[in-house]
Each structure stands twice: as structure tokens, then as C-alpha cells.
Structure 1
């Protein structure tokens, strides 16, 4: 609110004040700390119904990327690179099938990407908490919006790394056909895929 009170008079003047407004907002955004994603603690796991019986599960690992975060200023931004060749389901034959042109087609599309566009916060007990994150998911050569719901997100001082670490768990459900992955939908494998994203990043 203090920042908004300070900025309000800037809207009462002409174009010369516009540059000052942009500069002020840039300074505010610049307070967010930068964190590098830890590949050993960051992954994307998926679950998909299998002919309305059991649920097939698997995951992608060794993700890389960067997080910018400031709880007090309610600023957040994250970019993730997902190596699709890291896919593991516990069944090598199933891994090969999912990596083929019928599904992820990793020879043609080896990477998936997520870029956040907006972070949402709520205040509880005088503490700002992340509730959800909007972003764009690029997969199989196509990009569509997704919203991640935060089940938890927190920062702590790592005594091992001697620096601040932030991380949490997020969930979402996507329609795989929007990314051009529609194999076997007519035979009973649902287009809906549940995703759980675990993120951890260390301050630089």
C-alpha cells in the first residue's frame, strides 16, 4: 500500500512522469532475489487414468531453471526446462512407448518449458503465502496456458548450502490433446493428466 500511495501522484501528470513510473516499478521488481533451481529436488510427476481401472504414473527429473522471489513484495517468477528423455515410469517398455512419436516424440521435441506469467498471494497471520501461479507450458511443439495450485511453498536457511532455499509443491490438471498428444483417447485412455510439480531452488 505504501508503494501505491507513492505512485498515485505520478498518474496526475503528463508523459514526462511515465518514464519515472516505469523506472520506479522496475526498481520495485528488482528487489526479488534470484534462485537457481536444484535439479536433484525438482521434478514433474504425472498420473493418468488407464481404461478407467488403474492409474499410470511416471515423472520427469533433472529439471533446470531460475526462480525470482520476494515474499514481502509479493513478487514471483519462475522458468523451468524439463528434459523429456528423463522420463521414468518403472517400466522400460512403457518408457520407450511414451518417448516415441505416438506420445512425447522426444527426438523431435526433447525439451518442455514452463514460464510463469503471474503469481498469486494471500495474507494469513501477517504472512504472505503463494496460492497459485499462472504460466505458459510449451510441450510437443505447442504452447498453452496452465495454472498451478500451490499446496505449499516456503523458504528456509539451508545449513548445508549456507544460503536461503525456496521451494514447494504445485498441482494442475491438463488436457494432453491441447498439446497434440491424443493417442488412444478414443480407446479409453483419458485426455486428462494430473501433474504434481516439486520445486526447490537455492539463492544466488
Structure 2
């Protein structure tokens, strides 16, 4: 399959995520927030053969957040440009982008689409959803370490977001390089999400 076909498939996934978001808007009175790439990122850490910890991140993410606190419902759809991967070391970036790991040339985009939000009292406690990576989709649960809304003094609108953590088994997505040599298969993810409220089209 060509890179062009894969990119077309990625667009279809993105459209599906947007459609799910629109469905939530129809069934609830959730507010809609456009994710801010300056405050939205996915960072990871992984054990390096039991000696140290490697770290890196993906940036310039895009997507939408919907949040209905009174109904205790929400939705988040995130598009992750895999080429934005950065560890601070060019050679290491290139290796992680290769077919040994994230295979960015063949799979330039990853996606997360939530399927369920959990609350503890009136606080967001976890978000469950589907992570599409390397052409494979598996469920993951993101544990909220914080989530809040505030009136942004910079943007002049309400902003909502939070920090989430999870640990995934990279082999589920077909990334098994060096697992037989002692490199751990578990990757810790820290997901930072923040979006600014979009204007209500009905009021315009």
C-alpha cells in the first residue's frame, strides 16, 4: 500500500473522530474546545535495558475536546503528527522514526479517540478510548492527574484541559524491537491536553 493511500486512510479516521464529536454535540449540551498545540502534547518514557530511562515527545497536536460537566460526559479526539517526535538528539530521533520503531514514513499520523469518560464526584478521573498507532487500534485508559476549566486571560475565552497518564505495551501495536534483548515493552505516556472554547454558532 502506498504512502498516499495510508494518508487517505488517516484522513478517514480523522473524519470519523470529528463525526463522533458532532454526535456528542447533538445528544448533549457540551461546550466545544479547539485543542491548543502549544499546550497539547504526548510525552513518553521507556526503560533502556535496565540502565536508564529514555524520554521524548510528540508535539503540534491538533483536535477537539467536548466537555459537559453537569451531564458528566465528554469527548476528545487527538491527531498526532509522528514526524514531530523529539528526544533532543537528532540521531535518536531518526532511529525512533525508522521502521524499527514508529515507522513514520509509512504511518505519519497516530490518533486517539475517546469512548468513555469517568468521574469521581464532579472531577474527571479517567478517559478511555482507542489509540491508533502503526495501523493498529487498541483501547487505552488515561488516568487524569488533573483536569480543570478557567477563563484564559490571554485568549479571553474559557479553556479546559488536564494531564493524563497511562502505560501501554508497545508490542500490541507491533513494535517489538529489542524486546528479546532486554529493552522493556512497556511505555509510559503522559498526555497534556488543553483547548480554548469555540464560539456558539447559534449566537452568531
Alignment gaps of 5+ in structure 2: 1-22, 199-204
Q: Report deviation, 1:30.
A: 2.8
Q: 1:91 aligns with which of 83, 89, 107?
A: 89
* Distance in 1 (alpha carbons) for counterparts of 2:47 and 2:127: 25
The answer to whether the aligner puts 1:189 opposite 2:183 as a matched pair is yes
Q: TM-score, normalised by structure 2?
A: 0.84
Match of 2:143 in 1: 149
- Give, in whole Å, the separation in 1 of the partners of 2:24 and 2:133: 31
Q: Report the Cα distance in structure 2 between the residues aligned to 1:157 and 1:45, rounded to whole angstroms.
A: 26
Q: Shift of the alpha carbon at 1:28? A: 7.9
Q: Secondary structure at the match of 1:76?
A: strand
Contact residue 28 and residue 68 of structure 2 kept, 8 A? no
**Normalising by the residue count of structure 1, what TM-score does the alignment of the two structures yield?**
0.84
Distance, in Å, in 1 between the alignment partners of 2:158 and 2:27 is 19
Question: In structure 2, do the counterparts of structure 1 residues 71 and 142 end up closer, same or farther at CA, with 3 Å as the change threshold?
Answer: same
Corresponding residue of 1:169: 163
Distance 1:194 1:75 in 2: 26
Instruction: Say whether the 8 Å CA contact 2:76–2:113 is kept in structure 1.
Output: yes
Question: Unmatched 5+ residue regions in structure 1?
Answer: 1-24
Structure 1 residue runs of 4+, over 3 Å off? 25-29
Change (3 A) 1:120 1:99: same
Q: Match of 2:174? A: 180
Pick closer, same or farther for the CA change 1:27–1:37 going to 2, 3 Å.
closer
1:111, CA displacement in angstroms?
0.4
Q: 1:110 aligns with which of 93, 97, 108?
A: 108
The CA RMSD over aligned residues, in Å, is 1.4
Larger Rg: 1
User: How much does 1:158 deviate?
Assistant: 0.6
1:62 aligns with 2:56: no
Structure 1 residue 26: deviation in Å?
Answer: 7.4
Correspondence for 2:129 among 97, 113, 135: 135
Distance 1:54 1:199 in 2: 28
Give CA-to-partner distance per residue, 1:50-85, whole Å, 9 cap, x none: 010100000000100000101111110000000000
Report what 1:39 is aligned to: 37
